[in-house]
Amino acid sequence: MAKKKAETGNDALKEQPVENMAENTQDHEARVLPSEDEIDAIIRKRVYAAVGVGFVPVPLVDLAALTAVQLELIHALAKAYGVEFKKERAKSIISSLCGGVVSVASVPFFASLFKSLPVVGSTAGAATVCIVGGGVTYAIGSVFDRHFRHGGTLLDFDAQNAKSYFKTKVEEGKDIAAKMKPKKDDAAGEAATL
């Protein structure tokens, strides 16, 4: 079988059978790509929800809610791009992306546990989960937007090749989340609408 290098949505080169490239290209051309404004709205709504989840006062429940928001984000992006969504595959990708960047995986976990300390822990933990959770959610949205826009699917997503871009987008996302951090009451309402 002939092999040819093809650019994926992760801007990485990988070997792909020529026959599969033709099928992937036809599927991609048949799809109507959503506008940047539509994608921005999808991502922004979930970043707001992720920031709001930081205010959940129960340690570790906030992390479960954050994962649910991130899964819903990938589902919404997949739907917008006409890509089949598989929940278990999306969970695996989120774990792989976050696990590959140690600080991304550990900071929300410890910040969530920090909430169990009276007064100071609750405030500091909430602030950290808000910003880091929002940043990670923004990064996941950005990575999947790019991957789907270039014709990718959940099945051909290569988390290893996306990690560098993901890490850059986490930092960008933390800045965005810090600026958009809503008031506690607004955040709870936003998270409840998802």
CB-CB neighbours of 87 under 10 Å: 11
User: Residue 184 in contact with residue 130, Cβ under 8 Å?
Assistant: no
Q: What letter does residue 149 receive in the DSSP assignment?
A: H
- The range of the structural domain enclosing residue 57 comes to 3-192
User: Residue 105 in contact with residue 99, Cβ under 8 Å?
Assistant: yes
User: Coil, strand, or helix at residue 7?
Assistant: strand
* Number of separate domains in the chain: 1
C-alpha pair distances (Å), 164 with each of 131, 169, 182:
20, 9, 29
- What is the predicted pLDDT for the residue at 126? 61
Rg (CA), the chain: 18
- What is the predicted pLDDT for the residue at 38? 97
What whole-number distance in Å separates Cα of residue 51 and Cα of residue 97?
19
Instruction: Give the largest CA-CA distance in the chain.
Output: 63
- What is the predicted pLDDT for the residue at 100? 65
From first to last of the 194 residues of the chain, give the pLDDT tens digit. 444 434 444 444 333 333 343 444 444 456 689 999 999 999 999 999 998 887 777 777 888 899 999 999 999 999 999 999 999 999 999 988 988 665 555 555 544 544 555 555 555 556 667 888 899 999 999 999 999 999 999 999 999 899 999 999 999 998 898 887 554 544 444 444 55
Closest CA to 138 of 72, 39, 44: 44
User: Coil, strand, or helix at residue 6?
Assistant: strand
Write out the DSSP string of 83-148: ----HHHHHHHHHHHHHTSHHHHHHHHHHHHHTTSTTHHHHHHHHHHHHHHHHHHHHHHHHHHHHH
End-to-end CA distance of the chain: 46
Q: What is the pTM of this model?
A: 0.70
